[in-house]
Chains A and B, each alone.
Chain A
């Protein structure tokens, strides 16, 4: 029977199948961070259990970590206690940990690919919904809760029900200034925040194949924002080239054996998807969100919608609640929305290519004097690479703040937060109420829109930039 890629990976990991029970699925890689693991380790201790496969388990510190003074003790005692709990647990259970200051530290979904631990055809879980990021390599990767973290620590398996299959096909060529972030924001705006519920999404089509690995990660990362259990892309030469030579990638004869397997990881031609969505890449423009869920997004050329125009009662009420929270008036052109803060970073857009794209727009220019811009690399590895390329100087000379690695303002568990009423353009993944700080107002954008917005202080597409005023200010 013809199978989709996700079905092939799933089936290859079934440890046990019995009538009337969920399948027991083997987990190849378990990523752990400080927020969703302490209660799981407590559970192991209470039951006298050990970690079954420490060699398939990797921990790092990311959600709580400050991005300034990273070698000093964490000032917030509650955050510090959580990070210290992870350190104790990793030591007690023999798990490798990349702590603050370590060359491998960073956002859990940035370091897995960077180290070459994320590989095609594997199953990957983490107590974090953005685990779908790793699907960019053709892995079946999904977020789990703390009880499941404990289950994987103890058994290296998870009970699972077979997901439904969905195809998102993006054909054609992306216009200049339009990125993979715009693709996924457009997909979520089309199908809604829970539109892919119960499904694994396979992203396919010529526009997806043309993307770099990092751009594919951005798309897969936000699969959960469409409600999907996971999102993936079939591995290809781009994938293999990215992996080759990374610290944990197979080498020598192992590489050849792995490659032979990886080349089989494609959806069969006559495989059937439960649902299909098609997007024409050439029709896309930069997207921004106006509301309080990632599905409330529009092309930047549009205006803030009027809830009165919505016929569905739930959608209308949601739009009214969103606009009240966001402090926006229907009919306002999105391009006229002024922002206070620009955040460039997160597991969605905190990789080196994201920083390069933003730096290119900022090079030799100054950001708007009324706007602050935080640049937070996704990992120490990304930070080191960016500094080797001189990107840190570009950001600092433009007036942005260059920070240490971590999740930072994506969810504000560290000191990087919005104040009540403060408005951001953010390259992260969620514009939920209070996500970036109590009362904070978030507009999700791509890295190039973030950089253009920092320059003008208003939501701006790179193509809109007119530097005349700036040049005048600079006395040119």
Chain B
């Protein structure tokens, strides 16, 4: 995945709570077997049904930071939701609460999910509503979101931060510890279920 250090861009305020991953990308787009090219599915129902939806508004075209309501990315485990956001030009999603699986998926593909207190999220939403061209900087190195003289710190696990800064994928990291895996496997009870052979 691409490394993430710092990103500056414009932001789109998504004033909705509990935006589930079905809304981020509906199931019909999940039939594809590729890992890219999901931008047409991003929020497709909301874009179609609501002319005033934030991503339909010309002043937010080109936004790369999504400032979302609470409980963003709940529901389905579809990593396509992360891919669609990346394909749609987003590098960062900010919210006061994320669905666990979505947040975990985001760390595997280089989409930065930033947790801020709800009042800070709303302050940022108001700022970008007042000035859609406002540049917002998200600095993973310094763990801070900055805009128009305001700097808000955020927390992220050291390990996840390191992986994102380096752009490392987990499989390669785990393969360094295969001897631990082998040792664990040697002690597994023999009665544990096996899928093969077919009885």
How many angstroms between the C-alpha atoms of A64 and B27 in the bound complex?
Answer: 10
A9 at the interface (CB under 8 A from B): no
Q: What residues on A are CB-neighbors of B170 within 8 Å?
A: 147-148, 151, 159
Report if A434-B158 is in contact (Cβ < 8 Å); known contacts: A145-B77, A156-B181, A314-B70: no
Q: Which residue of B lies closest to A85 (CB)?
A: B33
Known A-B contacts A261-B189, A411-B27, A413-B27; the reply to A194 vs B18 at CB < 8 A is yes
Q: Which of A78, A151, A193, A433 contacts B71 (CB 8 A)?
A: A193
* Cβ contact within 8 Å between B100 and A122: no
B171 adjacent to chain A (CB < 8 Å): yes
Is A412 interfacial (CB 8 A cutoff)?
A: yes
Chain B residues with CB under 8 Å of A85's CB are 33
Interface residues of A in 189-242 (CB under 8 A from B): 192-194, 197-198, 224-225, 227, 229
Residue in contact with A147 in the complex, picked from B108, B178, B181, CB distance below 8 Å: B108
Partner of B77, one of A22, A96, A144, A227: A144
| CB pair B159 A22 closer than 8 Å | yes
A247 within 8 A of B: yes
Q: How many residues of B contact A (CB 8 A)?
A: 64
Binds A, one of B5-13, B125-133, B191-199: B191-199
Question: Considering the chains assembled together, what is the distance between the CA atoms of A411 and B22 in angstroms?
Answer: 9
The docked-state distance in angstroms from the alpha carbon of A157 to that of B45 is: 36
Task: Please give, as numbers and ranges, the residues of chain A lying within 8 Å of B109 by CB-CB distance.
Answer: 147
A96-B195, A194-B71, A248-B194 are known contacts. Are A39 and B34 too (CB-CB below 8 A)?
yes
**Would you call A150 and B171 a contact (CB within 8 A)?**
yes
Cβ of A57 within 8 Å of any chain B Cβ, yes or no, is yes
Q: Does A161 contact B (CB under 8 A)?
A: yes
A395 at the interface (CB under 8 A from B): no
The verdict on B156 contacting chain A, using a C-beta distance below 8 Å, is: no
Q: Does A68 contact B (CB under 8 A)?
A: no
Judge if B74 is at the interface, Cβ distance under 8 Å: yes
Do A119 and B33 touch across chains, with their CB atoms under 8 A apart? Answer: no
State whether B198 touches A194 (Cβ < 8 A).
Answer: no
Binds B, one of A250-258, A269-277, A333-341: A250-258
CA distance A437 to B189 in the complex (A): 46
Q: Give Cα A42–Cα B27 distance, bound, in whole angstroms.
A: 21
Contact B79 A147, beta carbon cutoff 8 Å: yes
Residues of B within 8 Å of A150, CB to CB, are 171
Closest to B33 in A: A38
Residue of A nearest to B180 (CB): A16
Q: Would B17 and A55 count as touching, CB distance under 8 A?
A: no
CB within 8 Å for A28 and B22 given contacts A39-B35, A129-B76: no
A47 touches B171 (CB 8 A): yes
A20 interface residue, CB < 8 Å from B?
yes
Instruction: Decide: A321 and B101 in contact? CB cutoff 8 A.
Output: no
A267 at the interface (CB under 8 A from B): no
Q: Beyond A194-B74, A227-B71, is A119–B97 a contact (Cβ under 8 Å)?
A: no
- Whether B33 pairs with A39 at a CB distance below 8 angstroms is yes
- Asked if B100 contacts A119 (CB within 8 A), the reply is no
By a CB distance below 8 angstroms, the chain A residues around B26 are 434, 438
Per-position contact with B for A75-86: 1 when CB-CB < 8 Å, else 0? 010110110010
Q: Are B79 and A36 in contact (CB under 8 A)?
A: yes
Q: Is B32 an interface residue (CB 8 A)?
A: yes
Which residue of chain B lies nearest to A291 when distances are taken between CB atoms in the complex?
B18
Given known pairs A129-B77, A197-B100, A433-B22, the reply for A55 and B194 (CB within 8 Å) is yes
B36 to chain A, nearest CB (A): 9
A96–B194 Cα distance when bound, in Å, is: 11
CB distance B159 to A21 under 8 Å?
A: yes
B195-A29 in contact (CB<8A): yes
Interface membership of B135, Cβ < 8 A: no
Residue interface bits B169-190, CB-to-A below 8 A is 1, else 0: 1110111011011001100111
A290-317 CB mask vs B (1 if < 8 Å, else 0) is: 0001010000000000000000001101
A-B contacts besides A15-B181, A257-B189, 11 pairs, CB < 8 Å: A55-B196, A81-B31, A151-B170, A154-B175, A194-B99, A197-B98, A224-B75, A224-B101, A227-B74, A318-B18, A430-B75
5 closest residue pairs by CB, A with B: A147-B108, A145-B105, A145-B79, A254-B191, A38-B33
List the interface of chain A (C-beta within 8 A of B): 15-16, 20-22, 24, 26, 28-29, 35-36, 38-39, 42-43, 47, 49, 52, 54-58, 63-64, 76, 78-79, 81-82, 85, 96, 116-119, 122, 127-129, 143-148, 150-151, 154-157, 159, 161, 192-194, 197-198, 224-225, 227, 229, 247-250, 254-255, 257-258, 261, 293, 295, 314-315, 317-318, 321, 411-413, 430, 432-435, 438-439
**Can you sample 10 A-B contacts with CB below 8 Å?**
A15-B177, A26-B185, A36-B78, A52-B181, A96-B198, A156-B185, A198-B100, A247-B199, A293-B18, A295-B18
